[in-house]
Each structure stands twice: as structure tokens, then as C-alpha cells.
Amino acid sequence: MSAATASTLLFVPGDRPDRFDKAAAAGADLVVLDLEDAVSADAKDAARANVAAWAAHRPCAVRINSADTRWFRADLDALSAKDVTIMIPKAEDPAVLAGIGGNVIALIETARGVLNAPAIASVPGVVRLAVGTFDLAAELGVDPTDTEALLPTRGALVLASAAAGLPGPIDGVTAAIDEPDRIIADTTYARRLGFAGKLCIHPRQLRPAAAALRPTEAQIGWARRIVEASSGAVAQVDGEMVDKPVVDRAHAILARI
């Protein structure tokens, strides 16, 4: 599945090649091989070689090191001939993203990145925005689990994505691995705001995240009634007026089944 349509994205450390195939078989829409936070400085080169070798034969995304590190250019060079999506951490400069080419997920995790989100989303090659809540919360001095504190950020990314014609953004990770109710709650909240994906750090998070991103039976039933009743003119369904924006929303819901 492409980065533009993926709902669940699963990180796997780039220095653990023994986990790459297992991650691919876990059921995520897209595997993200990680060269950044999950890999220590002394393991960066070996991890890059592992990732480049595996990515040459399997579709995936790769989170490379940020543009302000000494590994950034080497990461890009190693993946330049590979058919992979590049995830750029701490994305904040549209000019840097414009020079990458190919498919890019811009991981927004700084205040500057949030403020530049509209320009970042409009860069050719950027196919999705994602939010890195832990790094951003640290910069802002707030709790990453405080939904109210990060509501302006999430709203900004939803608006920037829509304005640029991108799919809904991808929500950040939930630290709790063995708390499916927490995953469902976090993902449901993000979905209500307009997010359309979830970053996961363990295979056990995939199923509850995917379930939370799917429409409910009530939403599906409503959408089907709307589509069936629509004929290009204004109609009524369940006592409410139905016009083109309502029909468009119904089609969007059914597209997520």
C-alpha cells in the first residue's frame, strides 16, 4: 500500500534486520524502517546498509535522520535508487523537502514545522504529513498525552493537508503497547479531528488502531442511505437535508471500508 493511502504504519529499528520480515508480515499497511531514534550513533552505518539492502526488494518507508545531522546526506544517497517513501523527521524547511524528490512523509515535530505546515504540505513530492507528538511536546513544555495541549497542532496539520489536497495526516505514536483501549481511544480521537493514519511501535498496536480508523457500522449505514438517496438534487434522509457536501462525506466514509 502507498504512503498516501496507508492507515497503519509500523516502525521497526533499522539495526534489527531480523525483524524486517516479521514486521512486513504483521499486517501493517506500511512498514517504516527507522534509521533515526531507534538506532544509536555507533550503529547508524550498519543500520543504513541493512535498510538499503532490504528496501531494494520490498516496498516500505524509511525514516532517515534529520537534515541537521551528519547522517542525513548518506541516508538519502543510500536510498536514492530505491522505490521507497522517505520519512523526514523534524520537517520544518520546505526548501529541504523540495530537494529530496520522490514520495515524502513530512514528520512535523517542532513548533517551526507546525507553523510551516501549509508550505510543507504544498511541496511537490510530499504525499502526507505526520505528527511527532513526543518531540513537539518536549519543545512546547507540555504532556504529549494531553490532547487539549496539542489540539492546535493537530488542527493545523489537518487544515494544511486538506488545503494542499493531501490525505488526512498520520497521528503520532502511543507509548502504551499492551493497552488496546488506550490505542483505540487515541486513534479515535485523532480520527475525529480529521487524521487518517496512525504511527505504531509494536505489532500489537496494529489491530486496535486499524479498528479505530475504520468507520463504525452506524456511519456506514448512514453513508449508504445517503448515497442511495442522492440523485444530484437536494433530498432528505433521516429527516435531514442532503446536498452535495453531505453526499461527498458519505462517499468518503464508504471509501474507508
Known binding residue 146? Answer is no
The DSSP bridge pattern shows strands 170-171 and 85-88 to be unpaired
Query: What string of DSSP letters covers 69-123?
Result: STTHHHHHHHHTTS--EEEETT---HHHHHTT-S-EEEEE-SHHHHHTHHHHHTS
Known binding residue 109? Answer is yes
> What span, in angstroms and rounded, lies between the C-alpha atoms of 181 and 176?
10
Grid cell listed for 242: 442532503
76, 118, 220 from 82: Cα distances, Å: 10, 28, 38
User: Nearest 5°: phi and psi at 73?
Assistant: -65, -40
> What span, in angstroms and rounded, lies between the C-alpha atoms of 213 and 236?
28
> What span, in angstroms and rounded, lies between the C-alpha atoms of 106 and 86?
8
Q: Are 76 and 64 in contact (CB under 8 A)?
A: yes
Known binding residue 63? Answer is yes
Q: Annotated binding residues for Mg(2+), as ranges?
A: 109, 135
Q: Which residues are annotated as a binding site for substrate?
A: 63, 109
Binding-site residues sit at: 63, 109, 135
